[in-house]
Amino acid sequence: MTKDINNISKKEFLEKLESYRNGSITRRHFLNVTGLGAATAVLGGTVPGLRPTPAFAGDIGDRVVLATWPNYHDVANFDAFTETTGAHVQVNVFGSNEEMLAKLQAGATGWDVYVPTNYTFEDYVKEDLIEPLDVSRLPNYDAAAFEPRYAEAGSVNGTLYGVPKNWGSTGMAINTKHNDGKAISSWKEFFDITMDKFSGRTVVHDYQLTTIGSALNYHGYSFNSVNPGELADAEKLLIAVKPHLFAITSDYQPPMRNGDAWLTICWSGDGKQLNSDIPEIHYALGSDGGEIWSDYYAIPKSSERKDAAYALINFMLDPNVNVKEVLTHGYPTADSRTYDMLPADLKNDPIIFPAQDLLSPLEFGAAVTLTDPNRAELMARFKSA
Amino acid sequence: MTQRTRNWLLLAPAGAWFMVMLIIPLTVVFIFSFGERAPSGGVVLAFTFEQYGNLPARWAAFKNTMTLAPIGTLSALLIAYPLAYFLAVKANPKWKTILLVLVIVPFWTSILIRSYAWIFLLGGRGIPALLDVIGIEGVRLINTPFAVLVGIIYGYLPLMVFPIYVSLDKLDKRLLEASSDLGAKSWKTFLQITLPLSIPGIATGCMLVFILLMGEYLIPAMLGGGKVFFVGNALVDLFLQSRNWAYGSAVAVTLVVVMLITVTIYMRLIYRLGASREDVSIM
Amino acid sequence: MGNGDYAQDAAPKGRKVVAELRGVSKYFGEVCAVSDLSLSISEGEFLSFLGPSGCGKTTALRILAGFEVPTEGVVILDGDIVNSLEAHHRPVNMVFQQYALFPHMTAAQNIGYGLRQRRPRLPRAEIADKVYKTLDVVRLGGYEHRRIWEMSGGQQQRVALARAIINEPKLLLLDEPMAALDRKLRKEMQIELQDLQRQLGITFVLVTHDQEEALSMSDRICIMREGCIMQIGSPQELYDRPNSRYVAGFVGTSNFFDGILTDNKGVLGTVRVNNEMPMQASHGSDLAIGQDVCISIRPEQMKLHRQGEGLWVKVLNRIFLGEHTEYLINHETLGDFLVLSPRQAEMAESPFNPGDRALVSWEPSAALILDNK
Ligand SMILES: Nc1ncnc2c1ncn2[C@@H]1O[C@H](COP(=O)(O)OP(=O)(O)O)[C@@H](O)[C@H]1O
Ligand SMILES: [Mg+2]
């Protein structure tokens, strides 16, 4: 499963990263390039010649390994971290929470900080793979500054395991040019139009949570349902829709941009990017449901550099640092201190910060969906049908 | 030390390698395949045939693999042979090395990166747009079995070219002169001398490509848009997404068995084709 | 030289010419493999190209076979100019240097290959019949189903031969066919080849670097050096009347005495050997007064005796060879040279021993003045 790790060289990774930053490829594209099979992609640290010579050897050691989603950071922040602490940041890129959990479950080690999503914490705690956080070692963490909605999944049974990084929503992006200029705003419309005049033009995600979730929403069920009857309805819908799909992939930006695909399940950050570049692509949340999510910084139990891990998380929680992160990737922050520092046009952006009433039908992914064998097998049957 | 012990000692590293790289993992997978999925993913050891009973759910994946792998192998052969022939027989020796390097160079890049070129070429703005200009409208190429086939041929071409090149290159050119001297026109020389003597290369290339294709998952994922599903994709999903190791192991064991059966039939066929023992050296 | 004298390039009179080269040269880039070759080959003759490795013999053969197109000159086969006629259209077959047998075919399949290419097709039975007959001709009866690698070098060579002669070519080209055989087998094959050639009446063109082989088998020999023909003639002619020091040295053994030509008016010319000793010898054409030349005398043309006319020499060594006895002799001006004394002469006069003084003499006509090239 890991053969492609060796195939993508560090140089290629950096080139890809650079072209992503230039906007010539997209986040999900990048994710696929580097993330399929969990590429051990690397920044700074392991690239000879790029390794900075630390001004002094800090107490925290000479490096810290961060497992995260692609282009979810401002690289300049990592350089600043290295400058102040002497530890360089090595970045490993992953494709999905499922994959990250699978790796840690299988006993993989070497990561110091990772970025799990809300619905995974229960499992990490149950499996004893995650380190409880010692708040005293995170002076920049101010619990009161975070909206509880985006922070509460980080605590399990009263113990803090993760501090919020960013949040976002999963909705739909439609190229209105092909629908007489009209957007759509429900999963009912999404699947109906796919089986009708958008046949062969729709993309759904390549993982169970959102794809099955939206099919459940279509029938008016909960996004997180594990009820066998409801899942059977969702499966029937997905199997019926499959011949009309353009693709089952999480790399939906390129076909949306080049016109091959007209409609897709979409993360808010991608929606923002698509809309900025191609105004006729609209991003909308489902009025009948959808996902809202929050990512957290956390430390895997297996980390051997906990000092460095704490130092990095604390550094990233500094609002002055965090604001640069948000400006780079465009995902909203739950930290009011950081929010206050953002420019007004960003604060008022309807895609990044949607109105509260639009968010209310959305659900956070439930832990049970992550491990539910029926949902996993449903997705697999759908893909191999 | 007797001759016998010495032989065993000499064989030990290879044996150890074989154990670590092949026997142990296969045994583990075999044992897992009789287990059950743990509640939060992974495997609980047991002795049940439940996983094998579920195999029909992956029928489509096996069907796709078992059609596209042979078609891909044959297509790669049809394209690779003329290329290898040109390199080995026709190309100016001065340019040979450079041309050979050109064939290998793509291999230094990840197939992942290379597939992106095809995503563009086969996408709506690539070849279909060109066809549109000449009046052929509405052609869809990307995310079809055809796109996967193109990716397969492209990705596996060097693997096919090399063994054929080697067998053609070591072919004594005087045999071709001898054939011509005895009155055979060039295409008859090709059919009666060149082709039969390159069968070892063809056999090796096909075997190599076919076996690797059976486990392929990247190209279908990239160029099939998740709609052309190989057994390899089923395995990636089972191990990395649904974390159903037991079922994944059963699928993997089945794949290995299918592979062994196919390869055995294939070897028989090659020998039957009349290639003598000396001629055929498969891997 | 050599090609200036057209008479010697011509085939023996009264026989039909099957192949002819006129002023043929072949360049591989800058390298000149053969230069200005002219010769004709007549029906039924056994012609050899003899010369050291790299002198262009194979190239000459390949031009005849049609594998190389000459850079200059004309190739004529059976009266037609065939310079760029492809090999498979020529009524010519070749036995390759390492035989070039098809490894994926049996002996019989190899031998029948040429017949199978014929259009219109020959009936299978006819092909099989001919193959069996040819197997017998080369004495390989019973080996028809053998694979090539199951055969010895000598057997492989017979297969190669059979594969060529079964087509009844106008010209059979053999490129060092015996080079890979051991000495004893080579002798046998030489005799067999000669028999075969007489029996079949096919014209043979043999390439070899082995002078004994060329002398014993050929009707005519074409001596080559650095891409050029030095002399063409029967073994006898080449031996008795070499046209250069090179040919004299290549065909048989000879003693050479270097000098300057001082007179060539009569039948005998005069050479001042080693700048001091005038010697008389029969001279060839194309020699100028003052030119560097040599006198060549075959060792068997010299006689050793104790009385009479001659040069005084000292015997250095004596080797008994059975039929002959070989003496190594020293003369104060001429240096060391060889004398071969036949058995009768040895019987008549008691043998010389190392250290003995003796007189050496020869017929003036046995001494040849040759260009020193
Ligand atoms: N295909 C070729 N390319 C370049 N040079 C060649 C080629 N064939 C022969 N020669 C050169 O021509 C000369 C004569 O070669 P060849 O006819 O093989 O000699 P022989 O058979 O007398 O040993 C040699 O110097 C050889 O290197
Ligand atoms: Mg030669």
Task: Note the pLDDT tens digit of each residue in A241-270.
Answer: 999 999 998 888 889 998 999 999 998 888
Q: Which of C122, C128, C90, C87 is nearest to C106 (CA)?
A: C128
Q: What is the pLDDT of residues A152-177, one digit of tens each?
A: 999 999 999 999 999 999 999 999 99
Regarding whether C261 and C234 lie in a shared domain, the answer is no
Whether C245 is covered by a domain: the verdict is no
Once rounded to an integer, what is the mean pLDDT over residues C281-299? 88
The DSSP call for residue C11 is P
| Domain ranges, residue C294 | 253-371
Torsion angle (degrees, nearest 10) of CA A250, A256, A258, A260: 90
Are C160 and C295 part of one and the same domain?
no
Is the pLDDT assigned to residue B281 strictly greater than 50? no
Residue A8 has pLDDT above 90, yes or no: no
Asked if the structure places residue B206 within a domain, the reply is yes
The chain-wide mean pLDDT, for chain B, equals: 88
Q: What CATH code is carried by the domain that includes residue A64?
A: 3.40.190.10
Per-residue model confidence (pLDDT) at position C3: 40
The whole-number pLDDT of residue C2 equals: 38
Domain count, chain B: 1
* Residues C340 and C287 both lie in one domain: yes
Looking at the fold, whether C55 and C177 belong to one and the same domain comes out as yes
**Residue in C65, C98, C147 closest to B181 by CB:** C65
Residues C288, C206 share a domain: no
Q: Are residues C203 and C313 in the same domain?
A: no
Q: Mutate which of B180, B182, B187 to test chain C, going by most C C-beta atoms within 10 A?
A: B182
pLDDT tier for residue B63 given thresholds of 50, 70 and 90: very high
Pairing mode of beta strands C72-77, C17-28: antiparallel
The answer to whether the Cβ–Cβ distance between B178 and C104 falls below 8 Å is no
Domain count, chain A: 2
Q: Position of tokens 């922070």?
A: A151
Chain-chain contact of C88 with B178 (C-beta, under 8 angstroms): no
Determine the residue of C28, C53, C69, C224 to mutate for testing ligand 1's pocket, defined as the one with the most ligand atoms within 8 A of the Cβ atom. C28
B48 domain residue, yes or no = no
| Residue A284 and residue A300 share a domain | no
- pLDDT score for C176: 93
Q: Cβ distance C284 to C369 under 8 Å?
A: yes
The rounded Cα A176 to chain-centroid distance in angstroms is 26
Task: Give the range among A76-90, B114-128, C79-93, C94-108 with minimum mean pLDDT.
Answer: B114-128
Q: Span A32-52, mean pLDDT? A: 36
pLDDT for B40? 72
Residues C170-216 pLDDT 10s: 999 999 998 888 888 899 999 999 999 999 999 999 999 999 999 99
Specify whether A13 is located in the same domain as A158.
yes
Please state, in angstroms and as integers, the Cα–Cα distance from residue B86 to each residue in A186, A321, B78, B102, following that order: 58, 59, 13, 14
User: Which CATH number goes with the domain that contains C53?
Assistant: 3.40.50.300
A65 & A157 share domain: yes
Is C10 a member of any domain? yes
Residue in this structure with the two tokens 């017949």, named with its chain if needed: C115
Q: How high is the pLDDT of residue C13?
A: 60
Query: Which subunits have 3 or more CB–CB pairs within 8 Å of chain B?
Result: A, C
pLDDT at position A9 is: 42
Contact A60, A311 (CB under 8 A): yes
Residue B95 is assigned to a structural domain of this protein = yes
Per-residue pLDDT at B42: 80
Mean pLDDT, rounded, for C40-56: 95
Mean pLDDT calculated for residue range B199-203:
91
Residues A107, A14 share a domain: yes
- Residue B112 at interface with chain A, using a CB cutoff of 8 Å: yes
Does A64 share its domain with A138? yes
* pLDDT of the residue at B41: 75
Residue B17 lies in a domain: no
pLDDT level of residue A69 (50, 70, 90 thresholds)? confident
The type of residue at C306 is R
Q: How far apart are CA C59 and CA C67, in angstroms?
A: 9
Domain end position, chosen among C184, C209, C240: C240
Residue B6 lies in a domain: no
| A206 pLDDT above the threshold of 60 | yes
Over residues B155-183, the mean pLDDT reads 93
Name chain A contacts of B221, Cβ cutoff 8 Å. Answer: 36, 249
Residue B46: Cβ-neighbour burial (10 angstroms; 0-12, 13-18, 19+): exposed
Q: Alpha-carbon distance C92 to B182, whole Å? A: 8
Q: Using CA of residue B262, residue B263, residue B269, residue B273, what is the dihedral sign?
A: positive
Q: Distance between CA atoms of A67 and A60, rounded to whole angstroms?
A: 18
Note whether C30 and C149 are same-domain residues: yes
Q: Read off the amino acid at residue C330.
A: N
HEC string of chain B equals CCHHHHHHHHHHHHHHHHHHHHHHHHHHHHHHCCCEECCCCEEECCCCCHHHHCHHHHHHHHHHHHHHHHHHHHHHHHHHHHHHHHHHHHCCHHHHHHHHHHHHHHHHCCHHHHHHHHHHHHCCCCHHHHHHHCCCCCCCCCCCHHHHHHHHHHHHHHHHHHHHHHHHHCCCHHHHHHHHHCCCCHHHHHHHHHHHHCHHHHHHHHHHHHHHHHCCCHHHHHHCCCCCCCHHHHHHHHHHHCCEHHHHHHHHHHHHHHHHHHHHHHHHHHHHCCCCCCCCCCC
What residue ranges line ligand 1, CB within 6 angstroms? C 28, 31, 33, 51, 53-59
- ipTM score: 0.84
Cis peptide before A54 (omega within 30 of 0): no
**Given B116, B143, B238, which is nearest A380 (Cβ)?**
B238
Question: Are A176 and A96 part of one and the same domain?
Answer: no
**Cβ–Cβ of A380/B109 closer than 8 Å?**
no
Rounded to the nearest integer, the mean pLDDT of chain A is 84
Specify whether A331 is located in the same domain as A251.
no
164-203 in chain C: CB under 8 A from chain B: 164, 167
Residues A238 and A261 in one domain: yes
Report DSSP state, residue A183.
-
The CATH number of whichever domain residue B62 belongs to comes to 1.10.3720.10
User: In angstroms, rounded to a whole number, what is the distance separating the alpha carbons of residues A385 and C84?
Assistant: 64
- Residues spanned by the domain of B201: 58-282
User: What are the residues whose beta carbon lies below 5 Å from ligand 2 (ion)?
Assistant: C 58
- State which amino acid sits at residue B171: L
Percent of chain B with pLDDT over 90: 54
Average pLDDT over residues C327-350: 89
Same domain, yes or no: C271 and C199: no
How many domains is chain C built from? 2
Average pLDDT over every residue of C273-282: 89
Last residue of one domain, picked from the residues C216, C240, C264: C240
Same domain? For C270 and C314 the reply is: yes
| Residues forming beta bridges with residue C317, ordered by sequence position | C328
**What pLDDT score was predicted for residue B277?**
41
Looking at beta carbons, which residues of chain A come within 8 Å of B118?
Answer: none
Instruction: Answer whether residue B7 is part of any domain.
Output: no
Q: Is B266 exposed, middle or buried (0-12, 13-18, 19+ CB in 10 A)?
A: middle
Residue nearest to atom 21 of ligand 1 (CA): C58
Residues C40-45: what's their mean pLDDT? Answer: 94
Question: For residue A41, what are the domain limits?
Answer: 3-164+295-345
Contact B183 C65 (CB under 8 A): no
* C-alpha–C-alpha distance, residues B153 and C289, integer Å: 78
Same-domain check for residues C54 and C165: yes
Residue C361 contacts by C-beta under 8 Å, 6 or more apart in sequence? C302, C303, C305, C308, C309, C310, C311
Q: Is B106 on the interface with A (CB under 8 A)?
A: no
Per-residue pLDDT for A95 more than 80? no
Cβ atoms of A210 and A310 within 8 Å: the answer is no
pTM check: above 0.90 = no
Which other chains touch chain C, taking contact as 3+ CB pairs less than 8 Å apart?
B
CA–chain centroid gap for B126, Å, is: 27
pLDDT at A330: 79
Question: Is B129 inside a domain boundary?
Answer: yes
- Does pLDDT of A354 surpass 70? yes
Cross-chain residue pair B125–A258, CB shorter than 8 Å: yes
User: What is the predicted pLDDT for the residue at A244?
Assistant: 96
* C62 C-alpha to ligand 1 centroid (Å): 10
Q: Which of C240, C263, C293 is the last residue of a domain?
A: C240
In this structure, which ligand is nearest to the CA of B174?
1
